[in-house]
Amino acid sequence: MLPLTVSALLLASLATCSPIDRDRTAAILSFDSTSSSDSLLVARDPKVFNAPLWQAEKNQIAAQYSTKTGGAEDQAKNEKVSGRTGRFSSLAPQHFIEEFDVRKQPVCKDGRGKKCPHGKPGKSGHRLHGPAKKDAKEPMIDVFDTIDELYYGKLSVGTPGQVTSVQFDTGSSDLVVPTIACKNCTAPLFNPKKSKTFKSSKNPFEIHYEDKSGATGMISHDTVTVAGLTVKKQGFGCAFNRLPLNVGSPAFCARAINKVTNGFGDGPNSGLIGLGFPANAASKELPFFMNLVKQKALKSNIFSMYMSRSGKEGSELCIGCVDSAKFSGKIEYYPLNPKATKNIQYYWNIKSGGFSYNGKKPATGPLEAVIDSGTSLIYVSVAAAKALYAQIPNSAPAPKEVGDGFFTFPCNATLAPISLQFGSKQYAMDSRDFNLGQATTGSDLCVGGIIGQDTGDHLAIIGDEFMKSWYSVFDYSKCRVGFAKAK
C-alpha cells in the first residue's frame, strides 16, 4: 500500500526570494511506495477481478452523482468565496495569479530567509518532501502486480495538531474527520477534547451512499493543516456514533459507519478531504482549498496531482503550484462547464469529445467529464459504454457474477490505444490501468476499466485510471482543468 507522505523539510527547500510574493505559499505533498503508513497509493492484486470492490464503487457513483437541482442556496455557497454575484463569475477571484512552477522559481538558500537578497520570504513557497517510513506489514500491498485503488495522505486537526489521514478527492467538497469514539475507524483518530480550538455546533451533518456507507454527525470547526498550509476555524463533518451524548460536546463528535467504502472506515485512510466546489458540500462549509484561496494564501490558486502506478514512488499533490518535474510538454487547459449542472459549479467538469478506440471517431459521442481523483475507475452512461466496447474486438457484456455495466475482453489481446478527447486532442490511457484482471479465477476473459453507469446530469466520471497517465491541474482562478503527459 502506498499512502501519501507529507514530510518535514519545510521552508528550506523552495522558499521564493521575491518580496512581492512573500505572503503567498505553495506546498508539495510527496508520496512514497515504500511506506505502509505514510504513503499515498493503495494497491490491490489485479490478477482476478475484485467484484465486491468495484461493484461498491459503481453503486457509490450512482448515488454521489445524482442530478443536482441548483438554485439560490447552492449559488450562495459559491458566492461565499468571492462575495460577488452572478452564477459562474462568482467562481473566479478578481485577478488571475499566474501558475507557480516549483521547479522554475528563484529559491532562497535558507527557508527562514537568512540568505535571501530581498529579505525574509515569510511563509512563501515552502515545499514538503522526503522519504516515507517503511512498514513491510501493510496488508494491501502487492509489489509485483497491482491495481491502484486510492490516494491519501496526512492532515493535522486541532491545537496542538493531531495527525490523521485523508483521501484527497476532487469529486467531493466536504472534510470528514474520524474521532476516537469511532469503534471501527482506521487510526490515527482525532480527540476533540485535546484540542484548545475545537468548536462543535448543533448543525447535523450527513453523507449517505446507495451501498449504505456514509457518515452522520455534527458540523465542527477547528484549525486544519495540510503540508504546512493552515486554515483556522475550518468547518468539517465530525461524524458520531448513535449514542445518547450531549449535542455540541467534544464527546458527541465521534463517527459511526454502517459499511465501509471509498475512503470511509476500514480503508487505509481515516477520513476524506473534498477539493471540489462549495455548492457540492453537504456540510455547507467552505472547502479547505477554497478557504486558502479566500485567505490569498497561495502562490497560485491551483492545485495539481501526479499519480504513480503499480508500486512506484513519486506521487504527489502540489497545492498552489505545478511541478514540471512530473510532466513533459505543455499543460493544455479546458474551461469548466457549469451549464452541465444548471449553471452551478459542483464539480471539476469539462466538455469532452468522448472515448475512442484505436484512433477511430469517438464512439461514445460528446461527454461531460468530471475529473475525480476520489474515483478509481471510469464511468460513462450505459449506452456510451456499449458503443465504446463495440469498437474493441471480441469484447462483450460481463457475466452476471461480475455485475451489470461491466464488460470483458480477451486477456491475451493486445489492446490499441483507448483515448479520451478534450478539444481537438486525444488523451490515451495506459492499457495496464484499463485491465482490471480476470473475470474469474482461470478465466481467459478480463474486465475492462470503463464501466456503464447512468448518472444524474449525464456526467462521465473520469477517475485515477485516466489521471495516472496525465498530470492534472485544477485552476480555480481561470475556472479550468489542464493536462500534460505524466512522466
Render pLDDT for 189-228 as a digit per residue (tens, 0 to 9).
Answer: 889 999 999 998 878 777 665 555 666 777 899 999 998 8
Please tell me the predicted confidence (pLDDT) of residue 257.
28
| Composition of the chain by helix, strand, coil, percent to 5 | 15, 30, 55
Q: Is 23 a catalytic residue?
A: no
C-alpha cell at 411: 486477456
CB–CB of 217/239 below 8 Å? yes
CA distances for 211 relative to 54, 164, 171, 214, 264, angstroms:
12, 25, 18, 9, 12
CB–CB of 179/189 below 8 Å? yes
Please tell me the predicted confidence (pLDDT) of residue 201.
84
Category of 359 on φ-ψ map: left (φ > 0), alpha (ψ -120 to 50) or beta? left
Residue tagged 437541482 (cell numbers): 69
Please tell me the predicted confidence (pLDDT) of residue 242.
28
Residue tagged 512498514 (cell numbers): 135
C-alpha cell at 263: 475512503
- CA angle, corner 303, sides to 300 and 308, nearest 5? 140
Please tell me the predicted confidence (pLDDT) of residue 403.
94
User: Distance (Å, rounded) from C-alpha 307 to C-alpha 320?
Assistant: 17
User: Distance (Å, rounded) from C-alpha 311 to C-alpha 149?
Assistant: 11
CB–CB of 239/271 below 8 Å? no
**How many CB atoms sit inside 10 A of residue 131's CB?**
13
User: Distance (Å, rounded) from C-alpha 204 to C-alpha 144?
Assistant: 45
Residue tagged 449525464 (cell numbers): 458
User: Distance (Å, rounded) from C-alpha 10 to C-alpha 25?
Assistant: 12
Residues sharing a CB contact under 8 Å with residue 474, sequence separation 6 or more, in sequence order: 170, 275, 302, 303, 304, 305, 348, 371, 481
CB–CB of 36/134 below 8 Å? yes
Candidates 21, 74, 101, 169; catalytic one: 169
Residue 300 β-bridge partners: none
The CA-based dihedral angle spanning residues 235, 237, 238, 243, taken in that order and rounded to the nearest 10 degrees: 140
User: Distance (Å, rounded) from C-alpha 236 to C-alpha 183?
Assistant: 20
CB–CB of 336/353 below 8 Å? no
Q: Which residue type is seen at 285?
A: E
pLDDT < 50 stretches in the chain: 1-22, 32-39, 79-95, 106-145, 240-263
* Phi/psi of residue 138, nearest 5 degrees: -60, 120
Please tell me the predicted confidence (pLDDT) of residue 47.
75
C-alpha cell at 446: 478480463
| DSSP sequence for 244-264 | -PPTTSGGG-----SS--TTS
User: Distance (Å, rounded) from C-alpha 171 to C-alpha 274?
Assistant: 7
User: Distance (Å, rounded) from C-alpha 83 to C-alpha 137?
Assistant: 49
Continuous segment of H or E residues that includes residue 115 = none
The structure's pTM equals 0.81
Please tell me the predicted confidence (pLDDT) of residue 180.
82
Please tell me the predicted confidence (pLDDT) of residue 439.
95
CB–CB of 287/278 below 8 Å? yes
Q: Is 464 a catalytic residue?
A: no
Residue 350 β-bridge partners: 336, 369
Distance of CA 413 to the CA centre of its chain: 32
Which of 149, 126, 127 is CA-nearest to residue 139? Answer: 149
Candidates 372, 433, 464, 475; catalytic one: 372
